[in-house]
Structure 1
């Protein structure tokens, strides 16, 4: 079992032994200010539970290469969160820790990283950095890579880093643990074959083992195809799970995604359509768990900015447009038509393991609702290091919301980000 923090501490010791032939440190700083507001997330406008949040996040990156193929990468981070809700008032959280800290080695076709690091693969539906969060996804462990010609393969044994801070709550004003990662290990292989620079296929196998009184031992395996042909791009992905969910309960689940886009020259505009689907669990078989679960969820980027859904017990038809009327301005528009696969099953939250609305054998409605997301990204012309992002989203609930809660009012979400890199 991997011990939290031990690996990157070893890295710090090894750094001291690397001496001759080193280049200068390459450094950068990323400072982000984000204001966001949450309006009527329970879909009941008669209850005043609106909230706002102000987050400050600082990344410092430092990398140094050595002539013998070794390199060192350090990325400390600090975050400060101020959150206000009507019920709990204003609460604050601050934390500093290491996001990444690893020793790397690369020689020809072979590479290895040991220490705290991020894993980013494919469309990041399963493993990714999820840079949206103030406390991002990162792992302690080792990753080895092989790359030759059109083939690239990574193998890794890692444990999710114990970065515990999250958003403060009424019960945990200093922040709650993102999840309890004690005694959890991910072992995986991820391979990619390229037919050409923009077209190819991925295949992967990830084992998620968690024996801290729960007994999970699940295999997640799948494939992803991607390609660009002139003005057309497309991606398809299918992933399956088997193994043990908890002691005495088997895991059997799957999830699917397909998307395509067409680009026109006018304002570099892309029109897209996407379909995401994962069969649900109607909870009738207590010996079988059929909801797809995540070794390390990255759902925020895919199924709506408002985080009402994960890739489990769901169907999502997404229509999108992305256009850049000027060199510095990009506009994004997305409409999600969301529904449950099984009305009787649990409606799962963005993490995929928590229940947003519990299922019931009497439920018959699957229409979850429609989410509309509008985003503006502006790279300030005379300040190249500064980027402004503004987003506004509305979730219009469907019959499934009213059946579960009796509420039917729209919810809204907005944020404004200023990101400065230097």
Structure 2
């Protein structure tokens, strides 16, 4: 039954997408109604003040990994099949009250070894919160309490973590002042949720506390330029870096400038971290940039892009200062779907090109050489932990990766995608026993 259901549903959506396209070309016929509209804003009271909206997602993903993390992680080969299902229900009461519940089931029927809880979580609460929205003359005020997802800015530091079966969520309270679609200030006090592999056993992480203020808005008199300003605080027990393991109390202050003008787009961000790591002090930083130019009048409307990151490491593992930047709760994978490296102690550039092959088909090609920012510090793997044997050494060059990603939005409800990444170690990683490897994945996502 598990195999028949998804295939039948995908076929139904493909067929419905064809019907929509055909009717869109026939101007004498009305546009087809989305069959899933019936699941949205279902009235539960005669006056329509109480409504229910239902939603969900099914994703099937196959992965083929050879020598992950340059062969420095086990096992040497892992071919996996991942299945995740989301089901959600949102109840709105009048104009001001809302409750939302979202369940997740992550399955890993094929996996080499024991799947991590981010891939195998049989059934649990991904989100469950109550929300109060209060209108004022200066904008709306939102107060939300419970389990919820959070994502800010370009997801460099706070993200839902899309690629694994189980997305990231937090337990806590969040308040927001929402002036418009472009201006908003959030404040929150939370703990990240630890996924477990059982049934309704996910829990708040007692070893971490996360709080902060995040604001976004438009730069006055510069309509093409937007800005984010933020402060993020983190308490973490038994934090592990190449310098050692200790409790940390870390503060992050940062800013992001982003926008577009004509065919040019940009996204530039910088952050500084300070605080305590055991008895030592923290002084770390990061600067990231993403620039792109789209040639709209050329075939396939190519966008030429250049991404670059400079992320601090620890130049002296014996002193009383920790210089390694910690990226908090970033999107993972970060630089490619291969999940090769974490954004800590890193220098990298990534020239890339995106082609719109068809209106709903996009191809992206990228090349990404990587270096350690501080030679004495370690190379940090996807779990944001130091990889054994990579501190010090005679060079900083980690290696390079080449990536190809193809995505096709078949209908409003069905998306297909695939990626291939090939990576080659540099001198420093070869010294630690690293070798070349590759990663490939394909997925189909049905959402309603």
Normalised to the residue count of structure 1, the TM-score between the two structures is 0.84
Cross-structure match for 2:92: 65
| Of 66, 73, 78, the match for 2:105 | 78
Name the structure 1 match of 2:206: 182
Q: Are the structure 2 counterparts of residues 420 and 281 from structure 1 closer, same or farther at C-alpha, using a change threshold of 3 Å?
A: same
Could you tell me how far apart the structure 2 residues matched to 1:90 and 1:333 are?
30
- Name the SS of the counterpart of 2:432 in structure 1: helix
Deviation per residue, 1:176-215 (Å, 9 max, x gap): x999932421110001121377531111001112358953
* Aligned counterparts of 1:325 and 1:374: Cα–Cα separation in 2: 14
State the secondary structure of the residue aligned to 1:34.
strand
Q: Is the 8 A contact 1:309 1:350 kept in 2?
A: yes
Q: Pick from 109, 114, 138: which aligns with 2:145?
A: 114
The answer to whether the aligner puts 1:124 opposite 2:151 as a matched pair is no
Paired with 2:414 and 2:91, the residues of 1 have a C-alpha distance of 25
- Residue 372 (structure 1) aligned to one of 402, 423, 428: 402
User: Do the aligned partners of residues 94 and 399 (structure 1) sit closer, same or farther apart at CA in structure 2, a change above 3 Å counting?
Assistant: same
* 1:339 aligns to 2:371 (yes or no): yes
Judged with a 3 Å threshold, the aligned counterparts in structure 2 of structure 1 residues 89 and 288 are, in CA distance, closer, same or farther, namely closer
Separation in 1, partners of 2:236, 2:189: 14
Change (3 A) 1:122 1:70: same
User: SS state of the match for residue 333, structure 2?
Assistant: helix
Q: Which residue of 1 aligns with 2:59?
A: 32
CA distance in 2, matches of 1:343, 1:194: 39
- Give the secondary structure class of the aligned counterpart of 1:119: coil
Gaps of 5+ in 1: 1-17, 166-173
| Contact kept? 2:315, 2:376, Cα under 8 Å | yes
1:320-365 C-alpha deviation (Å, 9 max, x unpaired): 111212122111111111111122211111232x12244444x121
Aligned-partner Cα distance in 1 for 2:185–2:348? 31
Would the aligned equivalents of 1:39 and 1:411 in 2 still touch at CA under 8 Å?
yes
Structure 2 counterpart of 1:22, from 49, 52, 72: 49
Question: Over residues 162-183 of structure 1, what are the superposed CA-to-partner deviations in whole Å (9 max), with x where a residue is unaligned?
Answer: 3234xxxxxxxx89x9999324
Query: Is 1:285 matched up with 2:318?
Result: yes
The aligned counterpart of 2:309 is 276
Give me the whole-angstrom Cα distance separating, in 2, the residues matched to 1:180 and 1:155.
19
Q: Report the Cα distance in structure 2 between the residues aligned to 1:369 and 1:51, rounded to whole angstroms.
A: 21
Q: 8 Å contact 1:51–1:83 — kept in the other structure?
A: no
Paired residues in the alignment total: 385
> Which residue number in structure 2 is paired with residue 201 of structure 1?
227
For the pair 1:53 / 2:80, whether they are aligned, the reply is: yes
CA distance in 1, matches of 2:417, 2:171: 31
Cα 1:328–1:338, aligned 2, differ >3 Å: closer, same or farther?
Answer: same
- TM superposition shift of 1:124: 0.4
Runs of 5+ unmatched residues, structure 2 = 1-44, 240-245
1:13 equivalent in structure 2? none
TM-score by length of 2: 0.79
Q: How big is the alpha-carbon RMSD for the aligned residues of Structure 1 and Structure 2?
A: 2.9
Provide the residue aligned with 2:361 in structure 1.
Answer: 329
Q: Secondary structure at the match of 1:402?
A: helix
Question: CA distance change for structure 1 residues 250 and 159 in 2, over 3 Å: closer, same or farther?
Answer: same
Q: Give me the whole-angstrom Cα distance separating, in 1, the residues matched to 2:369 and 2:272.
A: 24
Residue 191 of structure 1, aligned match among 207, 211, 215: 215
Alpha-carbon distance change, 373 to 215 in structure 1, aligned in 2, over 3 angstroms: same
Query: Residues 93 and 64 (structure 1 numbering): CA distance in 2 closer, same or farther, change over 3 Å?
Result: closer
Partners of 1:356 and 1:144 lie apart in 2 by 38
Residue 210 (str. 1) matches residue 236 (str. 2): yes
Secondary structure of 1:222's match? Answer: strand
Q: 1:100 aligned to 2:127?
A: yes
Deviation at 1:121, TM superposition (A): 0.6
Distance in 2 between residues matched to 1:49 and 1:374, nearest whole Å: 22
Question: What is residue 351 of structure 2 aligned with on the other side?
Answer: 319
Is this contact kept in 1: 2:101–2:127, CA < 8 A? yes
Over 3 Å counting, the alpha-carbon distance change for 1:198 and 1:54 in structure 2 is: farther
Conserved 8 A contact 2:108-2:115 = no
Matched residues in 2 for 1:159 and 1:212: separation?
16
